[in-house]
Amino acid sequence: MPVLLDDAIADQMTLPSPSGRVDAAKKSAKADRRYIRAATLIGFDTFVAAQGGDPAKLLSESGIAPNVLDHPDWLIDFRKYSHLVELATRSLKNPSFGLEWAESLAPRFQALGPIMLMAYFSKTAQGWFEQTSKYLDQHTNAFDLTMDCDLSKNQATMRYEFSGPVPMNRQVIETKLAVAVLMMRQVTGQFDKNPTRVKFCHGAPADLAAHERIFGCEIEFSSPTTEIVFPLEYLALPIDVNVKFFRTLVDNFVRYRLERNHTADQTVSAMAASAIAGLLGSGICRSETVAQIVGLHEKKLQRLLAQEGTSYTEILEVVRQEQAVYLLRESSAPINAIAGLLDYASTSAFSNAFRRWAGITPRGFRGGEDA
């Protein structure tokens, strides 16, 4: 795999003409946009189809290209994503759509594959949460996930703070909170642990059966905050992701990506590239992690990649180049966010790398937009 960009990518790296520059009003509007990684839709088509719906039609009606399911590392407009979930709820006439979709993702949660993989490298629930929070900062700019600890009450609060002008519908919010609770039980192996209280900003629905089944605790509606409250000692729970379950996670993680990437082959290079693409922005995208994901010792991975005429560093470089071009061309993500999505330590490090590849800064490539 060559380090240089291929012709298709190189063709995209043409400096836009001055007439293509956006004006101040467009810049401001673009800055207000909220996005989320397309990986959040993994499992959506399967769940909708199982309920008798047409996922491709719903995606089209919401303004999302159906082929986005083949590209989990793309970014999609959060407004469209929110609209998609609402359309699915209405189409299927299922007022518990968000909660049931969350349940369907267990136990492997492919839509949040990197977060599940992070659990394997964490010792406690608190360590896993801290890594997850950092990852979500790259995954979406539509909400922030914070943790408040109150020693006097012996409780911790996981709070979702939604930002921007995008309205949050009930189904999206319920999906996020249900996934958080279900994943916490899965990675700690404590399936009998329930939150103390769950708070939603929307009003109470007529049927609470799904809420009671998933959360198993007091539920507050029409709350000024969206949060999950649980005993402080839960943060000290050890992670219980054994090697066997980890292998199942990574097998599904890589297989899904290879199956969706219709041009991918079965070489070690292809598997490594697929793993790297999925891990970027997670903070665990390292050669030893990629080796574990493809089921090899790190030295053997290096040896096999060398036999295929490449290396981990070269593949990482190519994946970053390709994703950088896409994110700058097709998304409204600010340049500092793109740097994080590509696992650069700083915006300047990303800018220097991009200039090395393309002979131009990311800002110049995009057309002079502010970082």
Q: Give me the pLDDT at residue 317, please.
A: 95
Tell me which residue of 326, 258, 354 sits closest to 37, measured CA to CA.
326
205 and 86 in one domain?
yes
Domain identity same for 211 and 224: yes
pLDDT in tens, 321-356: 999 999 998 888 889 989 988 999 899 999 999 999
Structure tokens at 40: 């959040």
| Structure confidence at residue 243 (pLDDT) | 64
Tell whether 64 is covered by a domain: yes
Does residue 188 lie within any of the structural domains? yes
Query: Do 221 and 356 belong together in one domain?
Result: no
In a domain, 253, yes or no: no
Taking residues 72-77, what's their average pLDDT?
88
Is 62 in the same domain as 110?
A: yes
Are residue 206 and residue 138 in the same domain, yes or no? yes
Element (H, E) at 160: strand 155-162
DSSP string of 199-212, one letter each residue: E-SSPPPS--HHHH
User: Hey, is 238 helix, strand or coil?
Assistant: strand
Same domain, 268 and 348: yes
Residue 246 located in a structural domain: no
User: For the residues 255-275, what does the mean pLDDT come to?
Assistant: 75
Domain contains 243: no
Answer yes or no: do 167 and 228 share one domain.
yes
Rounded distance, CA 263 to CA 120, Å? 30
Burial string for 280-295 (b: 16+ CB within 10 Å, else e) reads bbbbbbbbebbbbbbe
Q: At what angle do helices 268-279 and 312-330 cross, to 10 degrees?
A: 50
More confident: 14 or 305: 305
Strands 197-199 vs 226-231: parallel, antiparallel or unpaired: antiparallel
Last residue of a domain, one of 236, 254, 286: 236
Q: In this predicted structure, what is the pLDDT of residue 301?
A: 94
Confidence of residue 187 (pLDDT cuts 50, 70, 90): confident
Phi-psi sector, 52: left (phi>0), alpha (psi -120 to 50), beta: left
pLDDT score, position 134: 83
Alpha-helical (H) ranges within 73-221 are 78-92, 97-105, 113-120, 125-139, 170-188, 209-215
pLDDT score recorded for residue 166: 52
Amino acid at 218: E
pLDDT at residue 46 in the model: 92
Cα–Cα distance measured from residue 227 to residue 157, given in angstroms and rounded to the nearest whole number:
7
Give the per-residue pLDDT at 167: 57
CA 282 to chain centre: 9
Q: Which domain holds residue 169?
A: 35-236
Of 236, 255, 290, which marks where a domain is finished?
236
209 and 288 inside one domain? no
Averaged over 148-166, what is the pLDDT? 86
- Whole-angstrom distance, CA of residue 13 vs CA of residue 75: 20
Residues 208 and 130 grouped into a single domain: yes
The 10 Å CB-count burial string (b at 16+, else e) for 228-255 is bbbbeebbebebebeeebbeebbeebbe
Domains in the chain, number: 2
156 vs 111, residue with greater confidence? 156
Angle formed at CA 85 by CA 335 and CA 218, multiple of 5 degrees: 100
**Region 219-237: what's the mean pLDDT?**
95
Query: What is the domain-level CATH number for residue 182?
Result: 3.90.1520
Q: 273 and 325 share a domain? A: yes
Residues 218 and 292 grouped into a single domain: no
249 is a domain residue = no
Calpha distance 43→183 (Å, rounded): 15
Structure token digits, residue 53 = 């719906």
Whether omega for the bond prior to residue 205 falls within 30 degrees of 0, making it cis, is no
Same domain for 52 and 184, yes or no, is: yes
Please report the pLDDT score of residue 181 as a whole number. 95
Report if residue 74 sits inside a domain: yes
Closest by Cα among 235, 223, 236, 228 to 158 = 228
CATH code of residue 273: 1.10.10.60
What is the tens place of the pLDDT at every residue in 98-147? 999 999 988 877 656 678 778 877 889 999 998 888 888 878 888 888 99
Whether 244 maps to a domain, the answer reads: no
pTM (two decimals): 0.80
